[in-house]
Structure 1
Amino acid sequence: MQASNDYLVITAAGDDKVGLVEAFSAKITETGCNIEDSRMTVLGGQFAILMLVSGPWNALSKLESQLDGLGRQLGLTITHKRTRERERRQPTLPYHVEVVALDHPGIVHKLARFFAGHGINIEELSTDTYPAPHTGTRMFSVHMEVGVPASTHIPTLRADFFDYCDDLNLDATFEPSRS
């Protein structure tokens, strides 16, 4: 991210239809802003956007003034908030975590409790449910990127995490991120 830019976080959701990404990204480009980081997905019949946009303060102001109209035009509920470049208080090591289990309530909460209890920030998280091959049993998968404080003893953390997952009957991997 460039130091001369300001930043805006935008969230939007509404009925899924063809052309939403094109129309939304066109408005950002027309106002002189840039998409820095984004997640866009269809959840059920809803399309959802989470986006970090950058630009000079006046371009962001122009975009902000047009978001309500864009939302009405596209059938999206849009919220936005100014933000700043992320500051890291301590060095972290990026790790990728994958968990698969029979679907049941509380899996995300229990994983979040483990990482919070170890002072580890969850940077990104996505989940999915799917039928298991052959049996059709409902499965649940979790994909996470976490920031492990550099001072953490990784072998101990890995052992604690795998023991925790074994106690909960979760299959897991915990590896350094490759990105």
Structure 2
Amino acid sequence: MSGFSNQQLVVTAIGEDRPGIVGALTQLVSDCNCNIIDSRIAILGNEFSFIMLLAGDMSAISRIEHTLPTKSVELGLLTMMKRTSSHQSSEYSAGYTIEYSGVDAPGTLSRVTKLLAQYHLSISSLKSDTFDCEGALHMRSELEINLPFDVEFDEFKLKFENLCNEFQLEHILRRIR
């Protein structure tokens, strides 16, 4: 099993959601002697989206690169692959979860992520969706962020709260590490 860490490949698959897609893709990964070391699934509209980080030796990664396109056609999926290397985590002073919700307004997520970028905060996870609430479209987002050591967190927190007030959003900022 030590050969799993030699090579890494990111695989993204998108297609119409139906039973059996995950089973077929994970079986192919196993047949190619690769290991899934991280993955995410999302249903967006009627579409299924699956992102996997695979590890294996050179032969295993090459095998999946050559067999996945044929399997994708059989399953009616669009796929994309990119070789990568192990993630080198940076040193951060803390991690936080940001949650906010309110009436859906164009540009909300864009303004939040722009603010995060201004403070050099790293987004490690993002989930955002909309829902109907009493006849109005509402949105909710949850982000996990990492704070560099040199961030003026109180200043960022104040600007984030002002942004939430501008968009009339309920919000929670919670330390997770």
Using the aligned pairs only, state the percent identity: 29
* CA-to-aligned-CA distance 1:84-105 (integer Å, 9 cap, x gap): 1112344352211111010121
* CA-to-aligned-CA distance 1:27-67 (integer Å, 9 cap, x gap): 11111111111111211111111111111121111111111
Residue of structure 2 equivalent to 1:8: 9
Pairing of 1:8-27 with structure 2 (within 5 A)? 8-27=9-28
Give, in whole Å, the separation in 1 of the partners of 2:118 and 2:150.
Answer: 15
Q: Quick one: structure 1 residues 4 and 35, their matched pair in 2 at CA, closer, same or farther if it must change by over 3 Å?
A: closer
Checking the alignment, whether the CA contact within 8 Å between 2:112 and 2:160 is kept in structure 1 is: no
1:126 CA drift (Å): 1.2
Residue of structure 2 equivalent to 1:159: 158
SS at match of 2:165: helix
Residue of structure 1 equivalent to 2:139: 140
Q: Quick one: structure 1 residues 74 and 121, their matched pair in 2 at CA, closer, same or farther if it must change by over 3 Å?
A: same
For structure 2, the 5+ residue unaligned runs are none
> With structure 2 as the length reference, what TM-score do the two structures score?
0.91
* CA-to-aligned-CA distance 1:87-130 (integer Å, 9 cap, x gap): 23443522111110101211111111110011112121111111
> With structure 1 as the length reference, what TM-score do the two structures score?
0.90
SS at match of 1:79: strand
Residue of structure 1 equivalent to 2:98: 97
CA RMSD across the alignment: 1.9
Pairing of 1:28-107 with structure 2 (within 5 A)? 28-107=29-108
Residue of structure 2 equivalent to 1:175: 174
Checking the alignment, whether the CA contact within 8 Å between 2:98 and 2:171 is kept in structure 1 is: yes
One-letter amino acid matched to 1:146: I
Residue of structure 2 equivalent to 1:127: 128
Give, in whole Å, the separation in 2 of the partners of 1:122 and 1:138.
Answer: 25
One-letter amino acid matched to 2:158: A
